[in-house]
Amino acid sequence: MRHILLVLLGTLSFQAQAQLWELADQRSEEIYFDQALPVGGGRWAVVGRASFAGSHMITVRNGDGTIVWEHIDTYCTGQGVGEVVLLPDSGILHVGVKDGCDYYGPDSRVRRYAPDGSVLWERTIESQTGYMVTMAAKGSIGHVAVASQDTVYVMDMDGNVAGGYQALTSDIRKIMWAEDSSLFIVQGTDLQLVDIGGAMLNSNTIGPFVEDMRWYEQQLFVLANDSIRRFGADLSPLGIVAFPNMDWNSRFVVSDSGLLVNTAAGLYHLAPDGTPTFLFPWPALPGLSTTGCAVRNGTVFSLGNTDISGRSTGIIRTLSMSGEAVQHDQDVEVILHVDSTWTEFVGGFYPWDRHADITGLFVNHGSDTLRSVVLSMWIQVPWILCEQPTNRIDTSGFALAPGDTLRLPFGAVDVALGLSSAQAAGDGDICIVALAPDDLADRAPQDNTACASVDFVLSVARQESIAPLALFPTPASNACTVSGLAALGDQLRLRYLDGTGHVALERTVASPGDRVELDISSLPPGTYILDAMGPRARSTAKLMVVRP
């Protein structure tokens, strides 16, 4: 093994080749990209999710992939419970149901973003009938429309309700503006033209599977039932053309290059009569599912997702209109060394935790020097439903030549938390995975995961009972002091758990003595559990945060 020279590096930049680049986003254990929009200033909007649940994302990027602005919160951006549409001023309209992780609702939120990412206004809509607002459509003369399964709301550009109606049946599936005072509605198996007061102007049977709609050059194009269907402004039928490669991912592309359709297989162009022409397949990338794209000035902005050991990595690529993609050769192999394992009795309803001392090694099998990598390991927590805790090493600043190996020690880590006695003893697997080398997709990911089966033996000595932690003042506003830490040991991990069990804040304290002052200014008001874990013991206390 050659000597590994560690160097300090700046942020990785991607050298454009004919304006082509690639970026793999792996900031957390679940990144999923769903939709792309071309916004003003040569920028692109990416819509998706930033974690397993409850963290939905709208991010606007420059032409080189760098982030201009980004909003991540708990209101869904898609997945059947939210929608994002581009407004004529390059702003964004977002409607979504509140995602409480293991439940939805009870409210929906409508929010309008300016092109710079500032929030111009937002409105919260609580359903009166049990159906939450999940659909959005931009208008042509200063109005927008949002809808639930049984109600349509028309708003002006300041968010004031200016009209709408309640449908007779609760089966509205899609909405789109037709003209200044009417809407195209997919309701049940029918495509309808209605005015903003709900009066029916025309209707046609469309069938049960409608993927998308687009108004283009005085025609309504509909992707439905493995075909392209065309209608006039009055919803009169103009023709049907077969589209055999339609799939769950098929949708119209926001484009300045004509009427395009994205599918999982590739990109299509539609003629005025709806005839599809296959332009190119998506360039091969292991495990990639292409979910969306936008087109501007001959550049295709493509979104997709790869999956390695359950971790979804969002992939952004720019392509030429011929499908040309920038070439990369990132390929790493990960190796796992387990130095020791042990169990710990912590008491309570789930009394046992498993721990291990592990080291990850990765080998650079690519042809270029490797400069960053993410190593990740799951932590088993049977009673947490809505998040996936991990141990991660997210590192950059090294230079690993082709064929060389680098050791990255995790050290002592949690393997499983909150186990019963029956669960804690016996064999168990420890797996680590290497993700997004150099912030790119791995070209040969089959060896990115390494696992070891180890034996966990229950500890004989049970942990000594200690007094609970003491907090002052309580309630607290921006800071408080915690005492009773000396019995836990010298290296402490402090976690603040909210009412759903999510980790709201975490910090590590070395040699704290008996008391430490905590900065809680970043915590929203509420009730939290302060969980302090050290090498000798673990203790908790209730923390209430209030603001004047």
CATH class of 470-545: mainly beta
- pLDDT at position 514: 80
Strand, coil or helix: 432: strand
Q: Where do we find the tokens 């996936």?
A: 388
Rounded CA separation 449/429 (Å): 12
Q: Which residues of the chain have pLDDT under 50?
A: 1-18, 460-465
- Residue 464, phi then psi, degrees to nearest 5: -70, 140
- What are the pLDDT digits (tens) for 100-129? 887 888 889 999 999 999 999 999 987 777
Strand, coil or helix: 140: coil
- pLDDT at position 397: 85
Helix (H) or strand (E) holding 315: strand 311-320
**The amino acid at 36:** A
- pLDDT at position 247: 85
Helix (H) or strand (E) holding 32: strand 32-39
Supply 185's token pair: 């509605």
- pLDDT at position 387: 79
- pLDDT at position 85: 93
Judge if 74-208 and 470-545 fold alike in CATH terms.
no
Quote the pTM value: 0.78
Supply 502's token pair: 């999510």
Rounded CA separation 350/389 (Å): 17
Task: Calculate the alpha carbon distances from 508 to 114, 155, 232, 533 in Å.
Answer: 39, 48, 64, 10
- Residue 447, phi then psi, degrees to nearest 5: -110, 25
CATH class of 332-456: mainly beta
DSSP state of 523: S
Supply 190's token pair: 């029918």
- pLDDT at position 252: 96
Rounded CA separation 239/221 (Å): 10
Helix (H) or strand (E) holding 423: helix 421-424
CATH for 74-208, among 2.40.33.10, 2.120.10.30, 2.170.190.11, 3.40.50.300?
2.120.10.30
* Extents of the domains making up the chain: 74-208, 332-456, 470-545
- pLDDT at position 12: 29
- pLDDT at position 502: 63
- pLDDT at position 5: 27
- What are the pLDDT digits (tens) for 274-292? 999 999 999 999 999 999 9
- pLDDT at position 15: 36
Please give the sequence-ordered ranges of beta strands (E in DSSP) within 350-404, or none if there are none.
352-364, 370-378, 390-400
- pLDDT at position 140: 60
Question: In angstroms, how far apart are the furthest CA atoms of the chain?
Answer: 80
Q: Report the candidate in 305, 295, 503, 302 with the shortest Cα–Cα distance to residue 386.
A: 503
